[in-house]
Amino acid sequence: MKSLIYKKIALVTFMLVTISVTHASDLISHTVILLPDDPQNEETWTQTINNQEDWETFFYARTSRVQYEQSQAPIAPEFDFEKYQVLAGGLGVKPSSGYTLSVESVSELENTIDVHVINIEPGSDCFRFLQQLTYPSVTVLIKKTNKPFRFFVTHLINEECS
């Protein structure tokens, strides 16, 4: 099921990036950061991280709920916070493991940084198969800016329940 979801995400992302090529000057480069575990916030949230200490606090809060073999715990990557910052956000608690977020694009506008994400939701028949709470979130590294950021969410329903 995950490979099917990833294929759909890749296809949708490719189509959307292809469509937005004419606006490529507005796009800024970004790196999606995979966390050891999603932040378990009950409500929708966003956060900007501008220094290594705050980044490590955020990162290691993700590892505290997971048991690792000795010396296998992930280590927070180091970033040059003079040049970069981390943007993160999540949808809050969802009733099944079929919810995921994927970064579509990050655009710099005159007054804001817009982060476009795809919210992949399970189809209505899938809930009987996927009974586990989840906390979908995304975390991206972008160039340093003083502009505020906004998340824009596009919804995609995945009817594949396998």
Q: Give the pLDDT means over successive 10-residue stretches in the chain (162 positions).
A: 48 42 54 88 93 95 78 88 95 84 92 93 70 87 93 87 62
Please give the pLDDT value at position 159: 78
CA distance 90 to 103: 12
Q: From 49, 69, 68, select the one nearest 59 (Cα to Cα).
A: 49
Q: Do the beta carbons of residue 153 and residue 119 sit within 8 Å?
A: yes
Q: From 41, 150, 127, select the one nearest 91 (Cα to Cα).
A: 41
CA dihedral of 7, 9, 15, 19, whole degrees rounded to 10: -160
As given in the structure block, the two tokens for residue 64 are 């505290």
10 Å Cβ neighbour count for 12? Answer: 16
Q: Does the reported pTM lie above 0.95?
A: no
